[in-house]
Amino acid sequence: MTAARRRPDELFAEMQARTQRSTHRTFVWLFLVQWAIAIAIAALTSPWTWAGSSRSVHPHVWISIGMGGVLCSLPLLLIRLHPTWVVTRHLVAAAQMLWSALFIMLMGGRIEAHFHVFGSLAFLAFYRDWRVIVTATLTLTIDHLLRGVLWPDSVYGVANPAWWRFLEHAAWVAFEDAILIVSTTRAVLDMRDAAHREAVLEQTTTVIRQKVEDRTRQLRETVERYRLLVESTEAIPFEYEASERRLAYIAPQAAKLLDCELADLQARDFMSAIGHTADRPRVYAAVDAFLRGERSPREPIDHRLISKHGRVINVRIFLSNCTGTRIRGIMLDVTHQIQLETELRQAQKLESVGRLAAGVAHELNTPIQFVSDSVEFVRAAIGDLVGVVEAQREALDAALAGTLSPPLAAQTDAAIANADLPYLVEQLPRALDRALDGTRRVATIVQSMRAFAHERRERSELDLREAIESTLTIARSEYKYVADVELALEPVPRVACYASEINQVILNVVINAAHAIADAVAGSDRRGKITIALRQVGDQAVISIGDTGTGIADDVRDHVFEMFFTTKPVGKGTGQGLALARSVIVDKHHGTLTFDTEVGVGTTFHVAIPIVPPARETEGADPAAA
């Protein structure tokens, strides 16, 4: 028989054992209570027996104590020592019926005392064993037979009962026995059914428990996986309760980042306490805007935190969602990234400078060349003029001495003629003008280079016209062979911005325009046109840089602002120019960088910069400056 098939029988046996133990406990109490009641009855109804005026304890009291003790002794001992033995419950049954006999006797055979018999049988039915009821009935029968013959008063209450009184008593007991045996048998059948159901339930429970354990294990693994994921990445998820200004949760790696204990992180106002003073209003404003639904989850909040050790940490926060005033998001340590971006911008600038160096050198060489030529001409002309002056001085000296001879006069005249004085008079000023112009052009280029390379870490007011012109000056070598530049620069207020970075943006776009035109006119003698317009639109200054180049193909339009995306051949472009331009304009200046393009016609980039930076920006400082 398999374990599964045996299980109902095992459970039935367990239930029976439980029932018997429970019934044993009931009888332990019942015996003790009956004993106490028997003593109480004797003590209350006949405490004393008298002989005249002297008294002694009534024998009923001693009988109750002694006989009660005897009746309790062996059943309680067996219940204690051998609760599962069959004989134990049969002895309990016999003892209980003898208790009935004792009570009937103590109460003078009163008919009401016989109810104890029926109650006792009912109690014995708790064992759910019909044989116990049979034992009880046999005990009762023997007692009634013996006492009915020897001492009928103690059973029937009268000395000479009718012969049928025994049968009457027996009939009532048999009636109750029948009821109890039927109900006990049914209870046993019910118990067997229950055992069967429990076995089925156990089996089902085992299957379910196994499933639950499997699912729990899977869940635990998933939780562990997520925990490892959450706690081992550089991104630090957090939950911030805005109403309490407290972090409800933050991944533990934050403690390491911020040089503090994990418990510190959840203290009220902790983030404010470690937030950079200059950034705090901006961060609060951003959080409030997010709670009001006015700020997109895609907009990062960059700000600085000061660690316990005084380290400045640049963090970027993305708020993803909120429930009431509870906000969830992630925090990224971007300190290194910002350093890299700064270095990248600088590298890109150096790259531009490097690439432009040849052109700039050429631009410098041309004016220097004609300055040199002009100076050379002036030097030669001065030599001629010195020769004329010396010839004329010699003629003058001879004339003053009265020795001027016609040959000397002819020689002097020849010297004047050789010097070609009209020519010199005409060309010398021009040569000097050219030299001066060349010098000015060199100065302009140098000034432009200085302006371009000017590195300031804070905002300064920039004249965009000058910025455009300077940038064009140093980029001239990039476009002068393929395009003409047309400027339409309207006066606009000076813009508070990071000047060197705006210059870099203009340069990048102009160079791209030149390259696009070069591609478009390659193999022909056509020249393209770069149109640069500056105007004010609302509170923004807009620089539009258009070209008549190839235009941007449909399939690359969505990628032009991606870092390291380029369509240029190796050595001509690195794919950083427009990506950095967008970062500078959009992220740093809160402006826009857009473009219109048509393949084969050209492209126009529109750089829009707020003339006055947004309030939230002016309250803080450049995160990159940290």
Partner 1 sequence: MTTRALSGAIAIWLVLVGAGGYAIYHYEATAGAVATSGATWPAGSALARARDRPTVLMFAHPECGCTAASLAELAIAVDAAAAPPRVLVVFVGAFSDAALAASDNWTAAGRITGAIRIHVAGGPAGEARRFGARTSGHVAVYDARGALVFSGGITGARGHAGDNVGRRAVIAALRGAASAPAVHAVFGCSLEDAS
What are the residues binding partner 1 (CB under 8 A)?
Answer: 45-55, 58-60, 63, 66-67, 70-71, 73-74, 77-78, 81-82, 87, 91, 98, 101, 105, 108-110, 147, 150-151, 153-154, 156-160
List of residues 6+ apart from 20 with CB closer than 8 A: 83, 84, 89, 127, 129
User: Residue 169 Cβ, how far from partner 1 at the closest point, in Å?
Assistant: 15
C-alpha–C-alpha distance, residues 418 and 424, integer Å: 11
User: Residue 192 Cβ, how far from partner 1 at the closest point, in Å?
Assistant: 30
- State which residue, 101 or 510, has the beta carbon closest to partner 1: 101
Instruction: Tell me how crowded residue 266 is: count the other CB atoms within 10 A of its CB.
Output: 14
- State which residue, 48 or 175, has the beta carbon closest to partner 1: 48
- Taking the alpha carbons at both ends of the chain, their separation in whole angstroms is 80
- State which residue, 74 or 235, has the beta carbon closest to partner 1: 74
- State which residue, 49 or 218, has the beta carbon closest to partner 1: 49
- State which residue, 51 or 263, has the beta carbon closest to partner 1: 51
- State which residue, 91 or 317, has the beta carbon closest to partner 1: 91
- State which residue, 134 or 194, has the beta carbon closest to partner 1: 134
DSSP 587: I
User: Residue 22 Cβ, how far from partner 1 at the closest point, in Å?
Assistant: 22
DSSP per residue over 179-235, as a string? HHHHHHHHHHHHHHHHHHHHHHHHHHHHHHHHHHHHHHHHHHHHHHHHHHHHHHSSS
Taking the CA atoms of the chain, what radius of gyration do you get in angstroms? 58
Instruction: Residue 445: name the closest of 364, 514, 351 by CA.
Output: 364
C-alpha–C-alpha distance, residues 34 and 332, integer Å: 80
Asked if residues 554 and 571 have their Cβ atoms less than 8 Å apart, the reply is no
User: Residue 170 Cβ, how far from partner 1 at the closest point, in Å?
Assistant: 20
Buried b (16+ CB within 10 A) or exposed e, 578-616: bbbbbbbbeebbebebebebeeeebbbbbbbbbbebeeb
Residue ranges of the alpha helices (H) in 58-106?
A: 59-81, 86-106
Instruction: Residue 550: name the closest of 482, 460, 476, 619 by CA.
Output: 482
- State which residue, 151 or 164, has the beta carbon closest to partner 1: 151
- Strand-pairing partners, residue 240, are 247, 327
User: Residue 50 Cβ, how far from partner 1 at the closest point, in Å?
Assistant: 4
**Burial of 457 (C-beta count, 10 Å sphere; 0-12/13-18/19+):** exposed
User: Residue 85 Cβ, how far from partner 1 at the closest point, in Å?
Assistant: 8
Which tokens in the block code for residue 567? 């369509």
C-alpha–C-alpha distance, residues 494 and 611, integer Å: 7
Instruction: Residue 458: name the closest of 584, 625, 589 by CA.
Output: 625
- State which residue, 20 or 550, has the beta carbon closest to partner 1: 20
User: Residue 182 Cβ, how far from partner 1 at the closest point, in Å?
Assistant: 30
User: Residue 37 Cβ, how far from partner 1 at the closest point, in Å?
Assistant: 17
- State which residue, 150 or 400, has the beta carbon closest to partner 1: 150
Angle separating helix axes 464-479 and 421-453, nearest 10 degrees? 110
User: Residue 51 Cβ, how far from partner 1 at the closest point, in Å?
Assistant: 4
User: Residue 49 Cβ, how far from partner 1 at the closest point, in Å?
Assistant: 6
C-alpha–C-alpha distance, residues 19 and 67, integer Å: 29
User: Residue 40 Cβ, how far from partner 1 at the closest point, in Å?
Assistant: 14
DSSP per residue over 2-25, as a string? -HHHHHHHHHHHHHHHHHHHHHHH
- State which residue, 74 or 179, has the beta carbon closest to partner 1: 74
User: Residue 78 Cβ, how far from partner 1 at the closest point, in Å?
Assistant: 8
- State which residue, 1 or 51, has the beta carbon closest to partner 1: 51
